[in-house]
Structure 1
């Protein structure tokens, strides 16, 4: 008979997957760290927002967090393109 499907993943499998992703695309991990940093900074500065409404402040926080992640992923794409096509070390000499 067939085995029942696995619903929950092991913690070891998740940590191995995170390690593999970090090695494949380090800029994704940097982008996530930037996201956490931007959100932490915004949460810290929330008390001193002045007369700005909460909704406007949260919109600015969202734009800051998204900009951080998108810029890190964009830098990762540029880095990959430069490594693969411009500074290609594995050129076949004919």
Structure 2
């Protein structure tokens, strides 16, 4: 099996193109990550003005809010995916008699 042509991978994409493709396939994951970074950034910004609250409690609240945003975005994405896969397809086929 000798050939003169060199082997080339099926897709020679850069990391940016792979990320863009995966973002199109599952758009709620980057939305969740962006929300996570936004919540963490806001938590760090508010760190100076936390009042009498302990730092550990403030950081725990920030972590829980960031995780909640990510889990919520992924859950919405899964529900939307299930809706498009099952509900739209069953409504197109019509009622089964």
TM-score over 0.5 (shorter chain): yes
Hey, what does 2:62 align to over in structure 1?
61
Distance 1:52 1:17 in 2: 43
Q: 1:11-26 alignment to 2 at 5 Å?
A: 13-26=14-27
Distance 2:78 2:39 in 1: 21
Hey, what does 1:9 align to over in structure 2?
none
Report which of the two structures shows the higher radius of gyration computed on alpha carbons. 2
How many residue pairs were aligned? Answer: 83
TM-score, scaled relative to structure 2: 0.77
Runs of 4+ in 1 over 4 A off after TM superposition: none
Hey, what does 1:36 align to over in structure 2?
37
